[in-house]
Each structure stands twice: as structure tokens, then as C-alpha cells.
A = this chain, B = another copy of it.
């Protein structure tokens, strides 16, 4: 099985090698001093983040999102780059509780969303590998990531969108919405990189629909971002718990 993520388990080879599979499986000799309880690691991590990061400039309902973003980035400095519309946490949480689907611009981001945190058995959809994408991208003169956004179709209405990779996907999404297309419940816009990333986030923060309103949004301004940060934001919007 190649070209796919396998939960492939090596077969026991009977050689009795250390670390080999089989009934005699045993842990290696403990040589380092480290915390081995998963929930305790989470607890200590979030305690350290709250100790080190200055969250005072953030609205109360963004604190959990900010701590998870810092956790994903491994960097308290990221907090100064977080910006959001005032209604994004409430809007995303309500949509997810109601079973809204989550659209992502990359499979990696989709993989980072923790299913058991989702309140409404929400479907996670990434259309990047849809067979129609290369043809649409060529016909429209845009990237595959942008063309893939148009395949979300009317289900985009009321959905939660997370973009962690392609600035062109975020620009294209805004163009779909500004054309009077389906209106998502919330946009997590965190593409990463040096070409268009910062600009696409400014476009997100500055967009206005015909009635003067905005689609609720959250971003991390500048070049940084990525699938891990976008996924951690969705995980924080899905449920406020700071555990795994």
C-alpha cells in the first residue's frame, strides 16, 4: 500500500529484536526524564501558556482560541497577530453545534481537526483532489486551491471555512461571497507564506458585503499561519475545553 497513509503495522518477524511486535512486546528502558501522562502534558502546557502570554488585549471568548493557537505554534508571540470580528466565536460555535460542515483548503488541515471535539458530527470536506479541479483551474486561470473553493457550492451557506495554506483560496472565497454567493457562518483565514498571504488576510479583515456587514472571521496577520494553526482554531471553536 503506497501513496496513502497506512495504519500499516509491521508483521512480527520472530527475530525477537528489541522494539519488535509480538506477545513479548516491552517498552524500552526509560533514559530521559519527561512527563508521560497525555492530559497532564496538556494541563501543564496551557498553564505555561497562560503564564507567559499576554492575553489581556483579547476579548474573553477569544482566550481559548488564542491559547490553542499558541499551543499549535509553540510561540506566545503569535498572540499579537491574532485579529477577529467580534462575533466569530459565537457564530462558529453555533454553526458547528447545528451540524454545519467544515470546508478546508488542504487535506492536512482536515486531518488536524479533532473529530471528537466536534459537537454536531460535522462533516469535514476538502475538494482539492476533486478530479474537476485541474480543469477548472486551467479554464479560469487560477490555482487549484482557488478553483476547489467553487466546488463547495451552496453547502458553503452557513458552513465554517478554514484556510491554512493557500492565499488564493482565501481571495477566491471572498470573491464568491462578495458576488452574493453562499454566505459561510465563519471564516478561519490563516494561509501561510510570502506571496499573497498577508494581503489575503487584510482583504478578509476589510471585506464588506453589500449590506455593509462582514462574514465573521478570524486571522493571524502577516506571513505566518498554516494548517496546524487553522486546525487548532477550528478545534478551539468546536469546544472550549483545553484538554486534548
Taking Cβ atoms with an 8 Å cutoff, the residues of A that contact B are 1-10, 12-13, 15, 17-21, 25, 27-32, 34-38, 41, 44-45, 48-49, 52, 71-75, 107-108, 110-112, 115, 121-127, 129-130, 136, 140-147, 150-156, 167-168, 171-172, 174-176, 178-182, 192-197, 199-200, 203, 222-228, 231
Distance in angstroms between the alpha carbons of A10 and B159 in the assembled complex: 12
Prevailing SS type, chain A contact patch: loop
Residues of B within 8 A of A125 (CB): 5-8
Distance in angstroms between the alpha carbons of A6 and B113 in the assembled complex: 13
Complex copy number for this chain: 2
Known: A18-B182, A32-B203. 5 other contacts (CB 8 A): A18-B181, A20-B153, A48-B195, A74-B194, A74-B225
Closest approach, in angstroms, between the C-beta of A239 and any C-beta of chain B? 15
A44 — nearest CB in chain B belongs to which residue? B195
Q: Is the CB of A41 within 8 A of B195?
A: yes
Residues of B within 8 A of A3 (CB): 115, 121
Distance in angstroms between the alpha carbons of A155 and B223 in the assembled complex: 39
Whether A171 contacts B17 in the complex (CB less than 8 A), given A72-B192, A72-B226, comes out as: no
